[in-house]
C-alpha cells in the first residue's frame, strides 16, 4: 500500500503543463531544449504512473481517492478530487508509455518543421490534459480536462495552420465534439441536481456509490445517455464520427497520439468510469441506456470498417479503423464486458499508435505522399517499418496467440455472444472482424508488396529516432498478449478484481477457432482479391482499385464515406445556414426596421417639440419681452429727469387729494 | 381790531403757493431753493398761528416746532446750496432744465 501516491497524483497533469509553458516561453529556435523538456516531462509522468500502478497490483479492488474543496457557495461546497483505481492506473501507464514513444518519434518526424517547439508544447499540454481526464474523481474535473483535451486536439489538428484544409478540419473537430459535450454538460447538471455531488467516489456518498445512485432513480437512464453524447463526440461514434477522419490533417504523430491511442479513448474511458450510471437498475445486465450504447457501437464499427475498405489515404484507412475499433469497445461496454472493452482500449492504444507511427514512417520515407496507390514494394526498402507494421496489422486484425488485439477482440466477442437481448450484435461483430482483416490486408498489399510505384521509388528507411519507438510499441503489443490470454487473463483479473488462475486448458476454446477462421478468411480474401492491386491487370488500369473495377457503384459509395458528410451538408449544415440567413434577414430588416421605426418616431417627436419650442415657447417669450420693452419705453417717457415736473406732479397729486378730502368731508 | 386766524392762514396759504410756484416754475436752482424756504416759512407761520389761537392753557409746543423747523431749514439750505454748487461744477450751469441724467 502506498496511500501517499494519490495525494501526489496532481503532478501528472501539472508536469506536462509546466513543460508546455516553459517550452513556449523558450522561443522558437530552441529545438533541442524543447524536445528534451517535453520528453523529460513524459518520462517523469511515466515514472509517476508506474509508481501509482504498483499499489493497485497488490490489492484487489484497490481504490484510493483524495478529494478537496474547490469553493463554497452558500450552503453548497463544490469538491473536486483525484482517484486511483485499476482502471485509472492501467490507463495512466498506457497513455504515458505510448505518449513517450510518440514524443520520441516526433523528434524525427517533425525535425524540419519551423514550429518544432510549438508542436512539443502542444503535445505536452495534450498529454497533461489526457492524464487529468484519467485521474479525475469528479465529473466536473473530468469535464474540465476533457475540454482541455478538446482544445489540445484543436491546436494540434490545425497545427499546419497555413493549410486551409487543416484549419477546416480543426474547426470541424472542435465543433462536432462540442455538440456531444453539450449533452455531457447537460447530463452533468442533471446529475448534480439529482445527487448533489459530482464526485465519483466519496466514502459512500459519491454519485457512483450506493447512496448517490439511489437518489437518481429513473433519471439515471437519461443522465447516462446525455453523458454518452459526450463520449459519442469524443470517441468518434456514429453520428458524430465525421470529424475523426478529417482530423488526419494534423501531423502524423498527432494522429497517433490523439486519434488513435488516447484522446478518442477518453469517450470509452468515460463510459467505463461512469458505468454504474449506465448499469443502474439492470435486469440481467441489460438497461435501455446500455442497449443504446451497443447499437451505436455496432453501427459505428460496421460502417467505419466498410468505409475503410475504399479509402486511398494511408492515414484515413487507419482513422476509419480507429472509429471502427472504438465502436467495438462501445459494444463491449454496452453488453457488460467493461473489462474486455478497457483491455481492448489499452491494447488498441499500443497497436494503433504503432500503426500510425508506422504510417508516419512510411509517409516520411515517401516524402510526404499519403496515397497508398502510389506506394508499393516498401517491404524491401523499409524493413523495420514493415516488420513493426505487420505486427500492428495482425494485432488489429485479431490474429490470435501472439498479438494483443486477438485476445481482447475474442474477449469482446465472448461478451457479445452472451448478451441476453439479441444475438445480432454478435454476428455483426463477426462480420466486422472479417472486414477489419480485409482492409488491413489491402493496405499492407498496397503499401508494402508489389513493385514500387511513383512515390515509393526513392523511399528510404526512417532514422533511428523514429524506428526505435516503433520497435518499443511492437514489443509492447506482443508483450501485452501474454497478460491477455484466456489461459492467464491477468489484465482481466486486475481490472475486475477477480482472482486469476493459470489454466492452459482455457486456451483452447471454440471461440478461438471461430475467430481464427474469420481472421484467416478475411486475410485470405484480401490476399486473393488484392493480389495484383496497384499493378496493371488485363483491362484494369493500375490506379483503379480492384473493388472499384468489380463494383464501381459500391466502391464510390464507400469511397465517399457513404455520403454522410454530404448528407450533413445538405441537412444540418444547410439548415444552420438557412437559419443563419433567416436570422440575418430578421436582424437586418425586421429588428433593424423596428429599431429604425422607433428612431423615426423619436425623430418626429423631436422635430415636433423643436417646433413647439421654437414657434410656441420661444415666440411667446419673445413677444412678452417685446411687450415688456414697449411698456418700459412708455413708462420711461414719464421719467423726464426734470425735477420740477416731478415736483409739479406731486403738487397736483396733493391738490387732488385735498380736493378729494374736501369733497368727501 | 385784532387779527383773526383766517387772516394768518390766508397769508400762510399765499406764502406757500408763491413758494410752490417759485419752486415749480423758476429755472435757476437757487430760486427753487428760495421757493422751498418760502414754503417752509408758510408752514412755520401755520404752527405759530394755530398755537396762538388755540384755547388755553398754552404749552409752547407750536413755538418749539417752529424753532426746530427753522433750524432744520437752515441746515437744509446749507446742504441745498452745497449740492447746487456741486451740481454746477458738474454741469457748468444752474439751469435745472438741463439736469436730466435721471431721464428714463
| CA pair distance A32, A419, nearest whole angstrom | 53
Residues of A at the B interface, defined by Cβ within 8 angstroms: 635-644, 647-648, 651
**pLDDT digits over A234-288, tens only?**
888 888 888 888 888 778 888 888 777 678 888 888 888 888 888 877 777 778 8
| CA pair distance A229, A187, nearest whole angstrom | 9
Tell whether the model's pLDDT for residue A3 goes beyond 60.
no
Q: What residues of chain B lie within 8 A of the CB of A636, using their CB?
A: 103-104
Tell whether the model's pLDDT for residue A346 goes beyond 70.
yes
What 3-state DSSP class applies to A509? Answer: coil
**Phi-psi category of residue A498: left, alpha or beta, with phi > 0 → left and psi -120 to 50 → alpha:** beta
pTM value is: 0.72
Q: Can you say whether the dihedral through the CA atoms of A525, A531, A535, A540 is positive or negative?
A: negative
Contact (CB<8Å) A644/B102? no
| CA pair distance A219, A280, nearest whole angstrom | 10
Residue A573 has a pLDDT of: 82
Residue of chain B with shortest Cα separation from A651: B20
Burial of B26 (0-12, 13-18, 19+ CB in 10 A): middle
Contact (CB<8Å) A643/B97? no
Please check whether residue A54 is in contact with residue A2, taking contact to mean a CB–CB distance below 8 angstroms.
yes
From the list B20, B24, B103, the residue facing A641 with the nearest CB is B103
Closest-CA distance of chain B to residue A637, Å: 6
**Phi-psi category of residue A401: left, alpha or beta, with phi > 0 → left and psi -120 to 50 → alpha:** left
Residue A630 pLDDT class (50, 70, 90 cuts): very high
Residue A1 pLDDT class (50, 70, 90 cuts): very low
| CA pair distance B21, A287, nearest whole angstrom | 131
From the list A639, A647, A648, the residue facing B104 with the nearest CB is A639
Average pLDDT over residues B33-47: 92
Contact (CB<8Å) A639/B97? no
Least confident of A548-557, A590-599, B68-77: A548-557
Closest-CA distance of chain B to residue A643, Å: 7
**pLDDT digits over A512-552, tens only?**
777 778 888 888 887 777 777 666 565 666 666 777 767 77
Residue A659 pLDDT class (50, 70, 90 cuts): very high
Closest-CA distance of chain A to residue B1, Å: 31
Burial of A270 (0-12, 13-18, 19+ CB in 10 A): buried
Q: What residues of chain A lie within 8 A of the CB of B23, using their CB?
A: 644, 647
Contact (CB<8Å) A635/B104? yes
| CA pair distance A524, A532, nearest whole angstrom | 14
Nearest to A170 by CA among A160, A180, A179: A160
Q: What percent of chain A has pLDDT over 90?
A: 5
Tell me the C-alpha to C-alpha distance, in Å, between residue A619 and each of A227, A292, A429, A612, A630.
74, 82, 94, 9, 16
Amino acid at each position: 500500500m502506498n496511500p501517499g501516491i494519490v495525494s501526489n497524483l496532481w503532478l501528472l497533469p501539472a508536469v506536462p503543463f509546466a513543460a508546455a509553458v516553459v517550452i513556449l516561453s523558450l522561443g522558437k529556435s530552441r529545438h533541442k531544449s524543447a524536445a528534451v523538456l517535453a520528453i523529460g516531462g513524459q518520462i517523469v509522468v511515466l515514472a509517476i504512473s508506474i509508481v501509482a500502478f504498483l499499489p493497485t497490483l497488490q490489492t484487489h479492488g484497490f481504490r484510493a481517492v483524495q478529494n478537496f474543496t474547490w469553493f463554497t457557495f452558500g450552503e453548497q461546497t463544490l469538491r473536486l478530487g483525484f482517484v486511483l483505481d485499476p482502471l485509472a492506473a492501467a490507463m495512466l501507464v498506457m497513455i504515458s508509455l505510448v505518449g513517450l514513444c510518440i514524443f520520441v518519434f516526433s523528434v524525427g518526424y517533425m525535425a524540419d518543421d519551423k514550429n518544432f517547439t510549438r508542436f512539443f508544447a502542444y503535445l505536452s499540454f495534450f498529454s497533461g490534459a489526457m492524464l487529468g481526464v484519467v485521474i479525475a474523481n469528479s465529473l466536473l474535473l473530468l469535464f474540465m480536462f476533457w475540454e482541455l483535451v478538446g482544445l489540445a486536439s484543436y491546436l494540434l489538428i490545425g497545427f499546419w495552420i497555413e493549410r486551409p484544409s487543416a484549419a477546416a478540419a480543426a474547426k470541424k473537430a472542435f465543433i462536432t465534439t462540442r455538440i456531444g459535450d453539450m449533452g455531457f454538460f447537460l447530463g452533468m447538471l442533471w446529475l448534480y441536481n439529482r445527487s448533489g455531488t459530482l464526485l465519483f467516489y466519496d466514502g459512500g456518498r459519491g454519485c457512483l456509490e450506493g447512496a448517490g445512485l439511489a437518489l437518481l432513480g429513473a433519471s439515471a437512464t437519461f443522465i447516462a445517455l446525455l453523458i454518452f453524447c459526450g463520449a459519442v463526440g469524443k470517441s468518434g461514434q456514429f453520428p458524430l464520427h465525421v470529424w475523426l477522419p478529417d482530423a488526419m490533417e494534423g501531423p502524423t504523430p498527432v494522429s497517433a497520439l490523439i486519434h488513435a491511442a488516447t484522446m478518442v479513448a477518453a469517450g470509452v474511458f468515460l463510459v467505463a468510469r461512469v458505468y454504474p450510471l449506465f448499469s443502474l437498475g439492470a435486469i440481467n445486465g441489460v438497461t435501455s441506456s446500455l442497449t443504446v450504447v451497443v447499437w451505436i457501437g455496432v453501427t459505428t464499427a460496421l460502417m467505419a470498417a466498410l468505409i475503410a475498405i475504399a479509402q486511398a489515404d494511408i492515414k484515413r484507412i487507419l482513422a476509419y479503423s480507429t472509429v471502427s475499433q472504438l465502436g467495438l469497445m462501445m459494444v463491449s461496454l454496452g453488453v457488460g464486458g467493461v473489462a474486455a472493452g478497457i483491455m481492448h482500449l489499452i491494447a488498441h492504444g499500443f497497436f494503433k499508435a504503432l500503426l500510425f507511427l508506422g504510417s508516419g514512417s512510411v509517409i516520411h520515407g515517401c516524402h510526404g505522399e499519403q496515397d497508398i496507390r502510389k506506394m508499393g514494394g516498401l517491404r524491401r526498402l523499409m524493413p523495420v517499418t514493415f516488420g513493426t507494421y505487420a505486427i500492428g496489422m495482425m494485432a488489429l486484425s485479431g490474429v490470435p496467440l501472439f498479438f494483443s488485439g486477438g485476445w481482447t477482440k475474442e474477449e469482446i466477442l465472448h461478451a457479445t455472444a452472451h448478451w441476453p437481448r439479441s444475438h445480432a450484435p454478435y454476428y455483426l461483430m463477426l462480420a466486422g472482424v472479417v472486414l477489419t482483416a480485409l482492409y488491413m490486408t489491402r493496405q499492407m498489399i498496397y503499401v508494402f508488396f508489389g513493385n514500387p510505384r511513383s512515390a515509393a521509388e526513392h523511399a528510404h528507411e526512417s532514422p533511428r529516432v523514429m524506428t526505435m519507438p516503433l520497435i518499443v510499441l511492437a514489443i509492447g503489443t506482443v508483450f501485452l498478449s501474454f497478460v491477455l490470454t484466456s489461459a492467464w487473463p491477468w489484465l482481466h483479473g486486475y481490472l475486475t478484481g477477480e482472482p486469476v488462475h493459470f489454466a492452459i486448458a482455457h486456451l483452447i476454446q471454440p471461440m478461438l477457432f471461430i475467430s481464427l477462421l474469420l481472421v484467416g478468411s478475411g486475410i485470405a480474401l484480401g490476399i486473393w482479391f488484392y493480389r495484383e492491386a496497384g499493378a496493371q491487370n488485363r483491362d484494369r488500369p493500375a490506379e483503379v482499385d480492384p473493388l472499384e473495377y468489380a463494383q464501381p457503384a459500391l466502391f464510390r459509395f464507400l469511397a465517399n464515406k457513404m455520403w454522410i458528410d454530404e448528407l450533413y451538408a445538405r441537412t444540418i449544415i444547410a439548415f444552420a445556414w438557412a437559419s443563419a440567413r433567416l436570422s440575418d434577414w430578421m436582424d437586418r430588416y425586421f429588428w433593424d426596421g423596428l429599431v429604425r421605426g422607433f428612431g423615426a418616431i423619436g425623430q418626429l417627436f423631436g422635430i415636433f417639440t423643436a417646433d413647439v419650442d421654437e414657434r410656441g415657447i420661444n415666440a411667446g417669450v419673445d413677444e412678452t419681452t417685446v411687450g415688456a420693452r414697449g411698456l418700459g419705453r412708455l413708462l420711461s417717457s414719464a421719467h423726464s429727469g426734470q425735477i420740477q415736473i416731478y415736483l409739479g406732479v406731486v403738487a397736483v397729486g396733493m391738490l387732488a387729494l385735498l380736493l378729494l378730502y374736501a369733497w368727501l368731508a | 381790531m385784532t387779527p383773526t386766524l383766517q387772516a394768518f392762514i390766508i397769508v400762510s396759504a399765499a406764502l406757500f403757493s408763491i413758494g410752490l410756484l417759485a419752486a415749480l416754475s423758476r429755472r435757476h436752482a437757487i430760486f427753487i431753493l428760495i421757493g422751498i424756504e418760502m414754503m417752509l416759512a408758510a408752514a412755520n407761520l401755520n404752527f405759530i398761528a394755530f398755537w396762538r389761537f388755540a384755547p388755553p392753557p398754552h404749552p409752547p409746543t407750536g413755538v418749539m416746532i417752529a424753532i426746530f423747523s427753522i433750524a432744520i431749514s437752515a441746515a437744509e439750505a446749507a446742504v441745498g446750496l452745497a449740492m447746487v454748487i456741486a451740481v454746477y461744477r458738474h454741469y457748468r450751469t444752474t439751469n435745472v432744465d438741463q439736469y436730466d441724467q435721471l431721464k428714463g
